[in-house]
Amino acid sequence: MLLKLGDDVSTDEIMPAGLALALRSNIPELARFAFSQVDEDFYDRAIEIREQGGHVIVGGENYGQGSSREHGALVPAYLGLRAVVAKAFARIHGQNLVNFGVAPLLFCDASDHDVIEQGDVLRIQGLREGLERGEDAFTVRNVTRDSSFQVRHDLSDRQVRVLLAGGLVNDFRVRAAAGQTGQRAAASQP
């Protein structure tokens, strides 16, 4: 787990707003500022482990609150973020995570947040396969502490489909290739 955060982490803390306007289309450069207000070494650690399968962030209540800027999900996903485990998500940010292929997972027992330390190695067991089977609860193994805890999701079927595709753009590509994206528009025409 690359970063442990408390409650009410805003999208401005995830991706500082003043930088997004000038650099918004330069994701590699913008990524250098991700979480810089709460952890100045985040970028270096994320780059180091990005190619090793990505990382997880742990958050508290209301993770991603504040503005609904998509860069708060896009930039961490670019840096290898695969899942955020939190006590609760701000609604729009949770959807933005899904849109960029990052799993928003909820602690089944919020007190599990307190026993995780930054740097612990967390493995989410069978997440992809479980999502494919329609499961909504998963075991997270804390390899560092030789313990485990339960997480769940509250995603719709559509959100699960998007997440399994790796994000909204990939989901659109898959559905376009299968000829499924224009069905609604064609059905509504006389």
pLDDT of residue 74: 95
pLDDT at 17: 80
CATH of residue 56's domain is 3.20.19.10
Q: Classify residue 63 by its DSSP letter.
A: B
DSSP string, 97-166: HHHTT-EEEEESSGGGGGG--TT--EEEETHHHHHHHT--EEEEEETTTTEEEEEE----HHHHHHHHHT
Share of the chain above pLDDT 90, in %: 80
Q: For residue range 14-40, what is the model confidence (pLDDT) as tens digits? A: 998 876 667 778 999 999 999 999 999
Instruction: Tell me how far apart the alpha carbons of residues 71 and 68 are, in angstroms, rounded to a whole number.
Output: 9
- Domain with 175, as residue range(s), is 3-188
Out of 60-69, 95-104, 122-131, least confident range: 60-69
Q: For residue 29, what is the enclosing H or E element?
A: helix 27-30
pLDDT at residue number 190: 44
Find the mean pLDDT for residues 104-125: 96
Total number of domains in the chain = 1
pLDDT class of 188 with cuts at 50, 70, 90: very low
